[in-house]
Amino acid sequence: MKFVQIIDYKTERPEGMNELLDKWVEQTKGKRTATHSLIGKDRSDASHYVEIVEFPSHEDAVKNSKLPETDRIFREMVDLCDGMPSFTDLDVVRDEQLNTATARRFFHEIAVGGNLDTIDEIFAGDYRDHDIIKEEETVIGRNVMRDDVTSWRAAFDFTFNLDSQIAQGDDVVTRWTWTGTHQGEFMGVQPTGKVCTMTGTTTFRFRGGRIQEGWWHYDVMSLMRQLGTL
């Protein structure tokens, strides 16, 4: 179970705190068990900060706290604080990346499921699309997704296996494996009935909960080879 520690403190020397965190990151290379650190500043009190540190488990957090570097940095941190920092320990009972869920909806509901109405729900009206097989470097408008899905579904009966997803900031990267049976014309190739597979990645950038931009990279050469054109 993931574990999160919340450190609440006040300081008039935030630059010193940042330098301290940089020093801890450098000194604990290869030893620390913390996987994610986030620091926020109170909008109503510029001296009030909250740091959220994530660990794979409580046991990993205990190991991290026992590092000599962590102990030294903590003592220096106290010297920079106005009073003693407070600590809250939390077991994570729900962890949902909302943008990753929306990205999955594209693959499952739209691409495989054929629900084109969902495109208007999850894509921005001025969506920007970048696809390696298109002549235009950038195509604007959510209709590009409607046209792409329609043409791919006409050419193949396919499924997507979502191998992994990584979310960072506004971006969600999905690594996928596509499997399709060639049942319609595709890039000038008449139906062959062949079952083909290819791998690829899709990066969606979100804005306001909708997909604003997309980058598509996939092994189209392998697909054409399987169709017998290379």
Do 155 and 62 have their domain in common?
no
Task: For residue 192, give the nearest of 200, 201, 184 by alpha carbon.
Answer: 184
Q: Are residues 105 and 158 both part of a single domain? A: yes
Q: What is the pLDDT of residue 96?
A: 76
Same structural domain, 82 and 107: no
Residue 83 and residue 120 share a domain: no
**Which CATH number characterizes residue 71's domain?**
3.30.70.100
| Distance of alpha carbon 42 from alpha carbon 156, whole angstroms | 52
Q: Considering 91, 111, 126, which residue would you say is the last residue of a domain?
A: 91
Instruction: Judge if 69 and 141 occupy the same domain.
Output: no
Domains held by the chain: number: 2
Last residue within a domain, chosen from 91, 114, 131: 91
Is residue 87 domain-shared with residue 41, that is, in the same domain? yes
End of a domain among 38, 63, 91?
91
Looking at residue 33, its amino acid is T
Same domain? For 132 and 169 the reply is yes
Q: At what angle do helices 68-80 and 14-27 cross, to 10 degrees?
A: 180
Q: Which of 92, 75, 93 is nearest to 35 (CA)?
A: 92
Evaluate whether 52 touches 38 at the Cβ level (below 8 Å). yes
106 and 218 inside one domain? yes
pLDDT in tens, the chain (230 residues): 899 999 999 999 999 999 998 999 999 988 999 999 999 999 999 999 999 999 999 999 999 999 999 989 889 999 999 999 999 999 999 887 899 999 999 999 999 999 999 999 999 999 999 999 888 889 999 999 999 999 999 999 999 999 999 999 899 999 999 999 999 999 999 999 999 999 999 999 999 999 999 999 999 999 999 999 87
What pLDDT does 134 receive?
A: 87
* Whole-angstrom distance, CA of residue 140 vs CA of residue 124: 10
pLDDT attached to residue 97? 85
Edge-to-edge strand list for the sheet holding 86-91: 36-41, 48-55, 3-10, 86-91
pLDDT at res. 1:
84
Give the 3-state secondary structure of residue 208.
coil
DSSP-assigned letter for residue 189: B
Are 196 and 182 in contact by the 8 Å Cβ rule? The answer is yes
Residue from 148, 137, 133, 128 nearest 204 by CA: 128
In this structure, are 107 and 25 located in the same domain?
Answer: no
Residue in 97, 94, 92, 81 with CA at minimum distance from that of residue 7 = 81
35 plus 57 within the same structural domain = yes
Does 105 lie in the same domain as 77? Answer: no
Q: What is the CATH number of the domain that holds 106?
A: 3.10.450.50
Q: How many other C-beta atoms lie within 10 A of the C-beta of residue 111?
A: 20
Residues 87 and 143 in one domain: no
Give the domain range for residue 53: 3-91
Distance CA 137, CA 155 (A): 23
